[in-house]
Structure 1
Amino acid sequence: MAQSPSHKFGQDLGKLLEDIVLDDILKPRLQQFAKTKNYYLDWQRSRPARSGKKVTWEDKYGNKHDLDFVIEIDGTDDRLGRPVAFIESAWRRYTKHSKNKAQEIQGAILPIIELHHLSAPFYGAVLAGDFTKPALDQLRNNGFAIIYIPYKDVVAAFQEIDFDVAFNEETLDEIYTQASKSLASLTSLDKAKLRQALMRVSKSEVDQFMDKLRNCLERYIAKITLIPLFGTKYEFQSLDDALTELNTIDIDHPSGQFERFEVIIDYSNNDTIRATFQNKTLLADFLRKLES
């Protein structure tokens, strides 16, 4: 089936916005931050440490997801490091699709975060177009940092190069077709003006995003709590049995074998890592990694 003119224009516009917002606006800020902190920034291009050009990471279920940016500790061109930040992007023209896209991003990123939860990594989304407040709130409530460039700001940016992109579902196919041709023939000067316009409308969002990234990755450990747990394990088939036995347990004179270590790491930015380890060696390995 042939691609509709409206769909083609939407894809082309989204690709142009991605190139400008990700490559020209956000990536230089991320590169500067990573360089000053000796982190490794990965994005979509060839890298000997992985196959192909895509930045692909597995989640806790073994599913693979392609991302826009990943920041690593101890990463090099030839070696994958420990990921500490994951960033994805999306463009949507109509709000009716925004909820699904937000869920798609959440469904891809959060299982990766769960796999790497002992690093308490940063995760964010770069969004442009029409996204509803519930869609944005859903991501923020799940811990995402957000850069959001509304569709009206995209339209305003294009107006600076006398290009009207304020189309809707009633726009005729021939107008979309002509718009796609105009998009493909933008000059370097047009793109430079567009870049500057998008930088202006997104500056506050990008600054806040970078502040959150910096706050997460520049945090320091405020407190480490180790709780060695000893005792006898009690298992019950019903709540009544558990409640009955609870009254017989002498908590004033505890006894029993070692069960596990509970560790709580409190950071300066109020992040907290909670983990369980069965022996001292695994716990020590974990604590040493926190020095990175």
Structure 2
Amino acid sequence: MATAPGHLLGQIIGNVMEEALKPVLQDVAGRHDLYLDSKGPRPGVRPGTLVTWTDDLGNSHDLDFVLERGGSPRKAGNPAAFIEAAWRRYTKHSRAKAQEIQGAVLPVLAKWNNVKPTPAAVVAGQWSAPSLQQMRSSGFVVLHLQFPTTAKVFRDAGIDIEGLGEGTPDDFWQEQCDAYTNKSYAEKRELATALRTAHADEFREFVAELECRVVRSIDYVVVTPLHGNGTQYASVRDAIQGVRSYSCGVEAAPFLRFEIRIAYTNGDVIQATFGTLADAVGFLDTFV
């Protein structure tokens, strides 16, 4: 089935947004020793060209951008930020789109909670205040590119993304799609640059907030090896008596686990528990 012209124009706008956003994120990555993963081949790391991550249930989620710590073109790193870009023409659809973004990012975020990645969304068009707040309340860093400014950038490039309201005929939207398709590669790049320039202040605020969440260094690491078998007590009084009678000497006791606590300079804390030395070292290796 052919894609409706109005929907196709939305995809075009989304692509322009991604092209406008990518250099901004690449600059963040370059300045803070991060790797930016975006659509395109990445042999040895993932099949295909989509940025696909899985959640704890094995479900796949296609994302727009991921900032990684310790990543490279041929090596997957730990996620530092998951970033989605989205366009909405009418506010009445924005709540559903916000939920769609959350549905793509939050399950993957939960899987990688041990390294505390940051969720972020760059949205353009008409979004209701509750839909934006919905994402922020879930921990997202949100950049909203206001519709009037975005529409002017496209209008200056000969593309009308405002139309005549919800009753705009498909023929009109098709003309706008054709106007973009007929542009040269250089002209399409210029449109993305113009969009980024028109929203320069908003992009600066977004980057500042994103860096506050993502850029961090380890303050200290605590590794606690635990030994001895646990004892179950029927009451608090019995537990108190057990603690009082416990010997804290150096006699041998069976090893139980390693408890690791990593504290960062920005206040983030990562805690993990491992039953073997190899797993504990493997975990710590991901932060080297």
So what's the TM-score if we normalise by structure 1?
A: 0.80
Find out whether 1:41 has 2:39 as its counterpart. no
The equivalent position to 1:264 in structure 2, one of 247, 261, 264, is 261
Query: 1:90 Cα deviation (Å)?
Result: 1.5
Query: 1:83 Cα deviation (Å)?
Result: 3.0
Residue in 1 aligned with 2:173? Answer: 176
Residue in 2 aligned with 1:232? Answer: 230
The equivalent position to 2:201 in structure 1, one of 201, 204, 222, is 204
Alignment of 1:70-219 (within 5 A): 70-161=66-157, 163-167=159-163, 168-186=165-183, 191=188, 194-219=191-216
CA deviation string 1:72-112 (max 9, x = no partner): 33433333333333222211212222212211221221221
Per the alignment, do residues 200 and 264 of structure 1 end up closer, same or farther by CA in structure 2, a change over 3 Å counting?
A: same
Which amino acid in 2 is paired with 1:47?
Answer: R
Query: 1:261 Cα deviation (Å)?
Result: 4.3
The equivalent position to 1:276 in structure 2, one of 273, 276, 281, is 273
- Partner SS, residue 18 of structure 2: helix
Q: Is the 8 A contact 2:63 2:104 kept in 1?
A: no
Find out whether 1:249 has 2:239 as its counterpart. yes
Which amino acid in 1 is paired with 2:232?
Answer: Y
- Partner SS, residue 238 of structure 2: coil
Give the distance between the partners of 1:105 and 1:174, measured in 2 at CA: 30
Give the distance between the partners of 2:8 and 2:126, measured in 1 at CA: 14
Identity of aligned residues (%): 35
Per the alignment, do residues 99 and 263 of structure 1 end up closer, same or farther by CA in structure 2, a change over 3 Å counting?
A: same
Per the alignment, do residues 38 and 193 of structure 1 end up closer, same or farther by CA in structure 2, a change over 3 Å counting?
A: closer
CA deviation string 1:235-257 (max 9, x = no partner): 8xxxxxx7xx1233216526497
Per the alignment, do residues 224 and 195 of structure 1 end up closer, same or farther by CA in structure 2, a change over 3 Å counting?
A: same
Q: Is the 8 A contact 1:160 1:193 kept in 2?
A: no
Find out whether 1:31 has 2:22 as its counterpart. no
Query: 1:2 Cα deviation (Å)?
Result: 5.8
Give the distance between the partners of 1:53 and 1:288, measured in 2 at CA: 28
Per the alignment, do residues 254 and 196 of structure 1 end up closer, same or farther by CA in structure 2, a change over 3 Å counting?
A: farther
Per the alignment, do residues 116 and 254 of structure 1 end up closer, same or farther by CA in structure 2, a change over 3 Å counting?
A: farther
So what's the TM-score if we normalise by structure 2?
A: 0.81
Query: 1:220 Cα deviation (Å)?
Result: 1.2
Give the distance between the partners of 1:58 and 1:16, measured in 2 at CA: 27
Give the distance between the partners of 2:223 and 2:161, measured in 1 at CA: 58
Give the distance between the partners of 1:63 and 1:278, measured in 2 at CA: 27
Give the distance between the partners of 1:15 and 1:51, measured in 2 at CA: 23
Give the distance between the partners of 1:177 and 1:2, measured in 2 at CA: 12
Query: 1:62 Cα deviation (Å)?
Result: 0.5
RMSD: 3.0
Per the alignment, do residues 125 and 246 of structure 1 end up closer, same or farther by CA in structure 2, a change over 3 Å counting?
A: same
Q: Is the 8 A contact 2:66 2:81 kept in 1?
A: yes
Query: 1:279 Cα deviation (Å)?
Result: 4.2
Q: How many residues align?
A: 278
- Partner SS, residue 143 of structure 2: strand
